[in-house]
Amino acid sequence: MPGLEDLYREIILDHYRSPRNRGELESPPAVRVEGFNPLCGDEIVVTIDVEDDVLADIKIAGTGCSISQSSASLMSAAVKGKSLAEVRELIGTFRQMMSIHESTLPSDGAGGGSSEAAEPQAIDIDALGELAALQGVVKFPVRIKCATLSWNTLTQGLDEAGVPA
Amino acid sequence: MAELTTHTGGGPALDAATLAKDFPLLSRKVNGRPITYLDSAASSQRPSAVLDAMREYDETTHANVHRGVYGIAEEATRRFEAARTNVGRFIGAPAPSREVVFTKNATEALNLVAHSWGRSNLERGDVVVLTEMEHHANIVPWHMLAAERGIELRWLPIDDDGQLVLDDLDAVLDGAKVLAVTCMSNVLGTLNPVAELAARAHAAGALVVADACQAVPHLPTDVSALGVDLLAFSAHKMLGPTGIGVLWGREELLQSMPPFLGGGEMILDVRKDGFTPNDIPWRFEAGTPPITEAVGLGVAVDYLRAVGMDAVRAHEISLTSYALDALRDRFGADIRIFGPQAAEDRGGVLSFAFRDVHPHDISQILDEYGVCVRAGHHCAKPLMRRLGVNATARASFALYNDERDVDTLVEALDAAGKFFG
């Protein structure tokens, strides 16, 4: 059984207590997207300004648990000012970090038989910087949805802004 | 089964620690600590008597019901129907063998009502009255009917103490065809005045549908005294197995209702040009029913009856009172407990907000201490919006919980507060 320190790393608690980029950008021109976690009722609002090929600004609003709030805060700090291609790549890497471990868990309805999880691909943890602190979340499967909520909402925002996947 | 102490001079009506020994799961450990199971409002644990009876039935008697002529098929049918009658008697059904319909769960029972009675009795513009504290299971089937039929949903509001506001009840009920109300809120613990509501709804010409999921496991329940027309509950919240729920309905009302799902069992005759539905209650039980589960439910009812529902209720008032005091004494203004503030006015369900720590985080830390509580919206999002929260943490009691469980909860909550400082 993983310990709480795997989940609640100091960086996570810091971003939970002092969230970065809180608020909402004026929309329009900003793209505004809402995300919901049906498990707990948490709601998140992501507003983004896309200028040329850059994610010029991002704000996070809404409420949630420490994992969803810190993940959103860490995400906002990591993607702000980055090129759209870099943002898409970072989202992909983050999702991979979450899904690698998801795939090694017994899958729903698999009847408890041997897992057919694909070989985990190596991911570039270094590229994630502070985001790597969220790695421990995957040991608490129920909380993965908390961690990925803001990322899925950002992806939806990029799609709505017409950013190529 | 464990022996019960007699209720004398306001002392404990039952010995929870002794009863807990009947529940195998309660002897396991969580994260190296004894389990403190405080989520019985979501699903209760099962005593050995229930688990043993289900296994014994499976090993000695199982066959399909209402079909075979051979011995064990008759025996299986007899045990299945005996469970039905037993459940009916437990809730005071006037015709227990005909008024109890076995469903998959309480949700299916409420869907059955909306689908069968609703579709044959409600038309565009008809009014269904709900309350702000309903579980989604008593909301969404009516929403679906509203989308299909154009019926109107009206909502009885609650006050800040979590009680229904009945000042405008007659106006809300005016012209209503249905009042669908929970006997006890799964979030607030509020005990609604169902008998009074039923009388006034009937005076207005409305059918009364009661969600008794939290009531039947924790309170003496008598359908005749409540005066409702239909009442739904689930086995797995009353010491029984998952996979089986109950819809009770007045005999003549069930007689008037068309089938819900179609298939085997629910017919008297099938021809190329149509079918003739079966008698009640089988008319509403298409396909092979949950037979093993019915046997388990019957034994769960026996267990509750032997403990005594008055004793269960007295124990839960006492424990809830202890918990309210313990939480307020320790945490003061740091804890906000939703719902009625007096234990006598509520069931053993405590939803709370603790400082600004999110319920998910509370539940996660509590789990480290072996304490199982629910965190989330409890399938009552309209109520969450009324309370101004996205989610709450919820501790709920059953007859096997005692004051030590509350003490452990308080200590673990204190640790969560320190952790998120």
Residues recorded for chain A:
165
> In chain B, what percentage of residues exceed pLDDT 90?
93
| Closest chain A residue to the Cα of B361, Cα to Cα | A65
d(CA B154, CA B129): 5
The confidence band for B8, taking pLDDT boundaries of 50, 70 and 90, is very low
Searching chain B, which residue's CA lies closest to the CA of residue A36? B390
Query: What does the pLDDT look like over B264-303, one tens digit per residue?
Result: 889 999 999 999 999 999 999 999 999 999 999 999 999 9
Tell me if A112 is assigned to some domain.
no
From the candidates B355, B360, B372, which should be mutated to test the interface with A, based on the most A CB atoms within 10 A? B360
The domain segmentation of chain B, as residue ranges, is: 16-42+308-420, 51-305
Kindly state the helix (H) or strand (E) to which residue A91 belongs, with its residue range.
helix A84-103
Give the mean pLDDT of chain B: 95
* For range A46-65, the mean pLDDT: 92
Query: What average pLDDT score do residues B128-143 get?
Result: 98
Give the number of domains in chain A. 1
Give the amino acid at B356.
Answer: D
Q: Is the pLDDT of residue B4 over 70?
A: no
Q: How would you list the strands of the sheet with A54-63, edge to edge?
A: A31-37, A42-51, A54-63
pLDDT at A106 over 50: no
Find out if CATH 3.40.605.10 is the number for domain B16-42+308-420: no
Alpha-carbon gap: A40 to the closest alpha carbon of chain B (Å) = 4
Query: Is residue A25, in this structure, part of any structural domain at all?
Result: yes
Higher pLDDT, A128 or B411: B411
**B105-135: per-residue pLDDT in tens?**
999 999 999 999 999 999 999 999 999 999 9
Cα–Cα dist B264/B289, whole Å: 10
- Residue range B32-75, pLDDT digits in tens: 999 999 999 999 999 999 999 999 999 999 999 988 889 999 99
A15 domain residue, yes or no: yes
| pLDDT given at position B6 | 41
* B377 contacts on A by Cβ (under 8 Å): 40-41
pLDDT at position A115, please?
A: 41
pLDDT score of A123 more than 80 = no
Q: Would you say residue A107 has pLDDT above 70?
A: no
Among B365, B375, B420, beta carbon nearest to A40? B375
Q: Are B390 and A41 inside 8 Å of each other by CB?
A: yes
For the cut 60, the answer to whether the pLDDT of residue B243 exceeds it is yes
**Amino acid identity, position B86:** N
The pLDDT value recorded for residue A116 is 42
Residues of A in contact with B420 (CB under 8 A): 13, 66
Neighbouring C-beta atoms of residue A138, cutoff 10 Å: 21
Name the residue among A41, A66, A67 with its Cβ closest to that of B391.
A41
The residues near B74 (Cβ < 8 Å, ≥ 6 apart) are B68
Alpha helices in B208-337 (DSSP H): 223-226, 251-256, 291-307, 309-331
Q: Is residue A11 part of a domain?
A: yes
Q: Supply the pLDDT for residue B33.
A: 94
User: Which residues in chain B touch residue A140, judged by CB atoms under 8 angstroms apart?
Assistant: 364
Structure tokens given for B410 = 């308080």
Residue A165 lies in a domain: no
Asked whether the beta carbons of residue B390 and residue A66 sit closer than 8 angstroms, the reply is: no
- The 3 state secondary structure assigned to A105-138 is CCCCCCCCCCCCCCCCCCCCHHHHHHHHHHHHHH
Taking only the tens place, the pLDDT of each residue in A6-51 is: 888 888 888 888 999 999 998 899 899 999 887 777 889 999 999 9
Alpha-carbon span B161 to B190, nearest angstrom: 9
Residue A70: list chain B partners with CB under 8 A: none
User: What is the mean predicted confidence (pLDDT) over B5-25?
Assistant: 75
Give pLDDT tens digits for B298-312. Answer: 999 999 999 999 999
- Above 80 in pLDDT, residue A124? no
Q: Tokens 């003496």, residue?
A: B220
Whole-angstrom distance, CA of residue B253 vs CA of residue B133 = 26
Average pLDDT of chain A is: 82
Domain encompassing residue A68: 4-107+117-160
The pLDDT tens digits of the residues spanning B361-370 come to 999 999 999 9
CATH number reported for the structural domain that contains residue A66 in this entry: 3.90.1010.10
Q: Is B379 a catalytic residue?
A: yes
Question: pLDDT higher for A138 or B288?
Answer: B288
Q: Per CATH, which fold does B51-305 belong to? A: Aspartate Aminotransferase; domain 2 (3.40.640)
**A148-152, B34-38, B176-180, B325-329 — which is least confidently predicted?**
A148-152
Distance from CA of A23 to the nearest CA of B (A): 18
Percent of residues, chain B, with pLDDT higher than 70: 97
Q: Report B:4-33 residues touching A (Cβ under 8 A).
A: 31
Q: Cα(first)–Cα(last) distance of chain B, in Å?
A: 45
Q: Indicate if the pLDDT at residue B383 is higher than 60.
A: yes
Residues of chain A found within 8 Å of residue B381, distances taken between Cβ atoms? 41
The percent of residues above 70 in pLDDT, for chain A, comes to 85
More confident of the two residues A121 and A88? A88
